Amino acid sequence: MPDYETFEHDVLVIGAGGAGLRAAIEASAAGVRVGLVCKSLLGKAHTVMAEGGIAAALANVDERDNWKVHFADTMRGGQYVNQWRMAELHAKEAPDRVRELEAWGAVFDRTKDGRILQRHFGGHKYPRLAHVGDRTGLEMIRTLQDYGVHQGIDVYMEHTILCLLKDGDRVIGAFGYERERGRFKIFRAKAVVLATGGIGRAYKITSNSWEYTGDGHALAYDAGTELTDMEFVQFHPTGMVWPPGVMGILVTEGVRGDGGILTNKEGKRFMFDAIPENYRAQTADNEEEGWRYCQGDKDARRPPELLTRDHVSRCIVREIKEGRGSPHGGVFLDISWIKQKMPNAAEYIKRKLPSMYHQFKQLADIDITEQPMEVGPTTHYIMGGVRVDPDTQMTRLPGLFAAGECAAGINGANRLGGNSLSDLLVFGKRAGEFAAKFAKENSLGKIRKDQVDIVAREALEPFERNDGENPYAIQKDLQEAMQNLVGIVRNEGEMHEALERIGNFKTRAEKAAITGNREYN
């Protein structure tokens, strides 16, 4: 096809976060040619922003932990609407994926006897999160990239995919453009893996990077496969609320795992007032027991600050709506209080939470070793996504696979912290393995040039309009509508209004205009 630059691979992976890199590594190890397309630069995927750790029942800190307990925690946290087979595979295989990452060079925090250290996190019965301070996602991506760069993978940075290409029902590649020059490109492949992350940028307040615009969800849906559980959006309880320019930036759950407490403007630890019945037996009913748990007392129960994210977020919203919030519309998260319990508290906080210390010092002029943080819920993760086979990660369209946040099933109605990073490793590996197997059993499909021409023409239409609306204005209005109408607490009337507005946004988007030329547009 002379009109478009064309590349051929056995397996094409779209997305270069944890799931995409792991899929590409596994497919390449199977002896097939692999192409990896990423929207920004390699190493800039949203996975680097993950902080707390990788959930895996290694049982290094508490020998009572095992995959069955992890499975039970995941199912209960997801309100038992999880795809049980995915939750089972995840719990069973996560320990091996973490050890594998360690063998590839990941430098985890250590126990005194040299094993991988694990920390407490919300909804997990035992300390389960393997971590690197509060920069675990960054270390994961560094390790996967350092290992993967030697596997012969072709990487296409700063490329945006516009559509998946099909031959009948089978997916046979993708069509997109290079963002730097705006040139169109065709990627032919025997199998395609979607690993594009989430949809957080549909909301005004989010912890997600600019890349998280639901690309994989849209690509899969437009190609004709199913999305499921899309109503389940997770709002992380603790994002920054002040100053306005940093609103939504994540404050890791590790702060609470290391002893941080949530208080309202009256200084009350309000989480003790709302412990769900199905968690009551596992949750401390007094402050002293909660502190002992954070310090590793195996006979203590977890503090209520470490209940599941959906519950903690609702409790914070309740405090704010009832007038007990902090000055800037959040609540207080305080780790500095532990100086009452240990003489070297400041050094402990800086060692365990180095990113949080620098984040608040630089962005909010707050020393978290001395002052409480102001936090509030931030859009963080979508449990819904592409419906996949739990064992192979293939969609109902032959040749199309999905892994990571853009795939649905493992988390049900709510994700436990730390399960995302292990999900990326477990199902990224499986997607790459079975995509390679599919590629070996099938040949390249036949691409229809008329299908490509239509998509290319539609992509260029905004450049030809002189009186259309700026697309950023439409995106801003979408984010406002989603934030105000489809947030943590929803009702039927507001959701109907949101649907009406989204229909209007679609009409506006069809008439949008872009100024300038195709470079970086």
Amino acid in position 462:
P
Last residue of a domain, one of 406, 441, 476: 441
**Per-residue pLDDT reduced to its tens digit, 264-286:** 999 999 999 989 998 999 999 99
- 273 and 293 inside one domain: yes
pLDDT single digits (tens) 394-443: 999 999 999 999 999 999 999 999 999 999 999 999 999 999 999 999 99
What is the chain's length? 521
Domain boundary (335, 352, 379) is at 379
For the beta carbon of residue 138, count every other beta carbon within 10 angstroms.
Answer: 18
3-state helix/strand/coil string of 274-298: CCCHHHHHHECCCHHHHHHHHCCCC
- Residue 280 identity (one-letter amino acid): R
Examine the domain organization and report whether 279 and 346 are in the same domain: yes
Domain of 481 in residue numbering reads as 468-521
Judge whether residue 44 has pLDDT over 60: yes
Q: Which of 120-124, 164-168, 337-341 has the highest mean pLDDT?
A: 164-168
182 and 311 part of one domain: no
Edge-first strand order for the sheet with 261-263 is 233-240, 373-382, 331-334, 261-263
CA–CA separation, 465 vs 343, rounded Å? 66
Does any domain span residue 321?
yes
- The residue ranking higher by pLDDT, 249 or 122, is 249
| pLDDT-above-70 percentage for the chain | 99
Residue 1 has pLDDT above 70, yes or no: no
Domains in the chain, number: 3
Answer yes or no: do 188 and 80 share one domain: yes
* pLDDT score at 521: 67
Q: Where are the beta strands (DSSP E) in 53-117?
A: 54-55
Helix 492-509 to helix 471-485 angle (10° resolution) is 170
Q: What share of the chain is helix, strand, coil (3-state, %, to 5)?
A: 40, 20, 40
Same domain, 308 and 180: no
- 175 pLDDT exceeds 90? yes
**Mind giving me the DSSP string for 400-462?**
EEE-GGGB-STTTTSPPTTHHHHHHHHHHHHHHHHHHHHHHH----PPPHHHHHHHHHHHHHH
Q: Using one digit for the tens of pLDDT, what is the confidence trace for 438-458? A: 999 999 999 998 889 999 999
- Residue that wins the pLDDT comparison between 3 and 18: 18
Domain boundary among 331, 363, 379: 379
Domain match, 179 and 221 both: yes
Residues in CB range of 325: below 8 A, 6 or more apart: 264, 265, 319, 331, 376
Place of tokens 């009551």: 280
Number of DSSP helices (H) and strands (E) in the chain, helices first: 14, 16
Q: Are residues 305 and 370 in the same domain?
A: yes
What average pLDDT score do residues 242-252 get?
89
Residue 62 belongs to a domain: yes
Q: Within this chain, do residues 131 and 254 fall inside the same structural domain, yes or no?
A: no
Question: Are 9 and 122 contained in the same domain?
Answer: yes
Cβ count within 10 A of residue 498 = 17
Among all residues, which ones are annotated catalytic?
Answer: 236, 256
Kindly state the DSSP code that residue 394 receives in the 8-state scheme.
B
Go through 386-424 and write b for each residue having 16 or more CB atoms within 10 A of its CB, e for each that does not: bbbbbebbbbebbbbbbbbbbbbbbbbbbbbbbbbbbbb
The answer to whether the beta carbons of residues 270 and 262 sit under 8 Å apart is yes
Give dist(CA 240, CA 47) in Å, integer: 19
Encoding tokens for residue 98?
A: 């973490």
Any idea which residue has 């849906």 for tokens?
221
CATH number at residue 206: 3.50.50.60
Tens-digit pLDDT profile for residues 284-310 = 999 999 999 988 898 999 999 999 888
In this structure, are strands 118-119 and 34-37 parallel, antiparallel, or unpaired? unpaired
Whole-model pTM: value is 0.91
Let me know if residue 138 belongs to a domain: yes
H helix intervals, 227-344: 254-257, 287-294, 309-321
d(CA 134, CA 48): 11
C-alpha closest to that of 170 among 185, 189, 196, 194: 189
If pLDDT is split at 50, 70 and 90, which confidence band does 392 have? very high
Whose CA is closest to 220, among 59, 54, 396, 86?
396
CA distance 13 to 42: 13
Q: Are residues 178 and 145 in the same domain?
A: yes
- CATH of residue 310's domain is 3.90.700.10
What is the residue-averaged pLDDT of the chain? Answer: 94
- The mean pLDDT value for 479-483 works out to 94
- Domain check: are 200 and 140 in the same one? yes
Candidate from 397-401, 419-423, 467-471, 500-504 with smallest mean pLDDT: 467-471
- Given pLDDT bands bounded at 50, 70 and 90, which one contains residue 2? very low
Are 108 and 212 part of one and the same domain? yes
